[in-house]
Amino acid sequence: MGAYSKLFVLSALLLLLLPVPILLVNASGEDVASLALTEAEETLASTHEAVLEAEQAGANVSGLLDKLNLGAEYLAEAYVWYRLGVSENASRFAGLCYEVVGGVSSEAVELRDEAKRLGDADFVVNMIGSVVGVIVVLVFCSVAWLVFRRRYRRRVLGLRSEVVSGES
Amino acid sequence: MNLDEYRTLFLVVTLGLALVAAYPALAIVVPFTDDSEEFSEVWLLGPGHTAEDYPVNVSDGEMHNIFVCLGNHMGSSEYYMVYVKFGNITQLFLDSSKPSSLPPLYEFRVFVADEAFSESPVTFGFQNVYIEDNVLIVDNVTMNVPIEDAVLSVDDVIINGMVFPVDASTSWDSKKSGFYFRLSFELWRYDTMLKSFRFHDRVVGLQLNMTGS
């Protein structure tokens, strides 16, 4: 085999092998983007659930919703890029979403716990206040009734005695 | 009034005052049902933030501004997604009972607090709008296809600066005298039980009379 023939065979082999790494790189780029999207999506969803818990506990979550909205904006953009086949941008935006939303869950848990503590304190204050209030009302009304009844009887009896003395 | 009647009056007043005093505790212990209806809203506003001047006649290269608005009355904050889809009138019918099978071009994701609203600007336009095969060769004579038999195609949709290749075409609508397409906005809501988005039975859209370049 001459030098040119060897070169030709080698070139042909190289040309055959060339698409393989390109395909692998493309596949791995897509896989990375897909994984990043899944992670960002799951993080956003679980953070939303933590925020919902905080909200249900009575916490003010408007600040957390702002952060979630920023994350959601990034994630939407990531999905759009992914559908367009631009894996690099998809991964980048999914990463931004993950970064923005990353710490929100712990903030939500703190807010939820704080709201629960305040809620428990409110519960105790409301219960004690109500019990004391009812007792005060009952005592006050009982005393008022006793005073009223005594005055009423005195007045009615007094009127009767005057009438009796007038008749005799 | 005799003494018995006064006693009844005192009892009623005492009971009323006791109920008022016990209200804070009762409010916690007794579950008061909320009968208000839970629903979400989606609507479009024109370029002036009003329900007018919606884009209808659009041509190749022109850009148009609208706003997609969401309202949450679900009783808690919600995670919404809006899919933007484009197609001809037979591909995209604004049926709120099921989502269109067309793939989404663009999407918005937004968290909306309870009893709050959200507004997202949308700038859209179209590129490479043309009439397909607009000439006929009959007996070696070239002649223009009548408009009634022509087919208008759109190759690209631009939404918020991003270009989306599409494969959409439509024939002449003789009733409305135009080539009509639709740009639709489907509302999806994140279901925390299913842990995925579900179509939320709301679709709004624009009917666009397209003109080629």
- Is the predicted pLDDT of residue A23 greater than 60, yes or no? no
Distance from C-alpha of B179 to C-alpha of A56, rounded to nearest angstrom: 50
Summarize pLDDT for A116-161 with one digit per residue, the tens. 899 888 888 888 888 999 999 999 999 999 998 888 888 877 766 5
Pairing verdict, β B151-159 and B117-132:
antiparallel
Clarify whether residues B22 and B68 are in a common domain: no
Q: Which residues contact A152 (CB under 8 A, 6 or more apart)?
A: B3, B6
Other residues' Cβ atoms within 10 Å of the Cβ of residue A157: 10
Do B105 and B201 belong together in one domain?
yes
Q: What is the pLDDT of residue B39?
A: 94
Structure tokens at B139: 């007996």
Contact B177/A at CB under 8 A: no
Q: What is the CATH number of the domain that holds B55?
A: 2.60.40.10
User: Mean pLDDT, to the nearest integer, of A93-97?
Assistant: 96
Q: Which sign does the torsion angle of CA A166, A167, B1, B4 carry?
A: positive
Q: What are the residue ranges in chain B where pLDDT is below 50? A: none
Range of the domain at B28: 1-32
One domain, residues B49 and B149: yes
Note whether B131 and B114 are same-domain residues: yes
Percentage of chain A exceeding pLDDT 90: 53
Q: What pLDDT, on a 0 to 100 scale, did the predictor assign at position A160?
A: 60
What b/e sequence results for B5-17 when a residue is b if at least 16 CB atoms lie within 10 Å of its CB, and e otherwise? eeeeebeeebeeb
Give A-chain residues touching B197 at CB under 8 angstroms: none
Can you tell me the distance from the alpha carbon of A102 to that of A115, in angstroms, rounded to the nearest whole number? Answer: 21
B61 and B20 share one domain: no
The predicted model scores a pTM of 0.77
Contact between chains at A83 and B28 (C-beta distance less than 8 A): no
Give yes or no for B110 touching A (CB within 8 A).
yes
| Structural domain count of chain B | 2
Mean pLDDT of A59-73: 95
* pLDDT at position A91: 95
Which residues in chain B have their CB less than 8 angstroms from residue A73's CB?
Answer: 109-110
pLDDT of residue A102: 87
| pLDDT score recorded for residue B135 | 61
Q: In residues, how long is chain A?
A: 168
Tell me what pLDDT residue A4 has: 67
The gap from C-alpha A112 to its chain's centroid, in whole angstroms, comes to 8
Asked if B15 and B77 sit in the same domain, the reply is: no
B165 lies in the same domain as B116: yes
Q: Searching chain B, which residue's CA lies closest to the CA of residue A139? A: B14
Q: Are residues B51 and B7 in the same domain?
A: no
Give the residue-averaged pLDDT of A94-113.
92
Q: Which residues of B touch A148 (CB under 8 A)?
A: 6, 10
Higher pLDDT, B38 or A1: B38
Residue whose C-alpha is closest to residue A88's, from A36, A25, A29, A40: A29
The CA-atom distances, in angstroms, between A107 and each of A70, A121, B55, B66, B147 are 16, 21, 43, 35, 62
- Give per-residue pLDDT as tens, A3-20: 667 766 766 665 555 554
* ipTM of model: 0.83
Instruction: Provide the chain B residues 12-51 that lie in CB contact (below 8 A) with chain A.
Output: 13-14, 17-18, 20-28
Same domain as B117, residue B165: yes
Cβ atoms of residues B136 and B142 within 8 Å: yes
Q: Let me know whether B18 and B81 are in one domain.
A: no
B77 touches A: beta carbon within 8 Å: yes
Please indicate if any CB of chain A lies within 8 Å of the CB of B176.
Answer: no
Between CA B85 and CA B187 the distance in angstroms is: 11
Whether residues B9 and B57 share a domain: the answer is no
Residue A149 to residue B113, Cβ atoms within 8 A: no
pLDDT of A111 above 70: yes
Are residue B115 and residue B14 in the same domain, yes or no? no
pLDDT at site B166: 94
